Amino acid sequence: MPYVEEREFTLRLTLRCEFPDDYEGEEDGYVWAQDEVPAVASDLVRAAVQMLAKRPGWKVRPTNRGRSSEDEVALMAERIVDAK
């Protein structure tokens, strides 16, 4: 079995919208974020994959951490090191 090391890096993005005092709450289902959140998340994931693809010796794949892809996307970037 090969020896494997891992190092984690987290980029957390919180999208926020401020409302006037008479706002009734979240009953509208976060309408302010419906179009933007999926588009922003998709663009960020695409940019991360493209950046890593430009670096020699790296491969990227999605991983599942048990959370909805609407809330979290996890990527595994593996570096290929030649054992000499």
Mean pLDDT of 22-46: 84
B/e letters for 46-56, b = 16+ CB within 10 Å, e = fewer, are eeeeeeeeeee
pLDDT at 84 over 60: no
Whole-angstrom distance, CA of residue 73 vs CA of residue 64? 8
How many domains in the chain? 1
Cα of first residue to Cα of last residue in the chain, in angstroms, is 17
- With a pLDDT cut of 90, the percent of the chain lying above it is 31
In a domain, 70, yes or no: yes
* SS3 at position 8: coil
In a domain, 4, yes or no: no
Residue range of the domain that includes 75? 30-79
In a domain, 38, yes or no: yes
Closest to 14 in 3D by CA, of 30, 31, 37, 35: 37
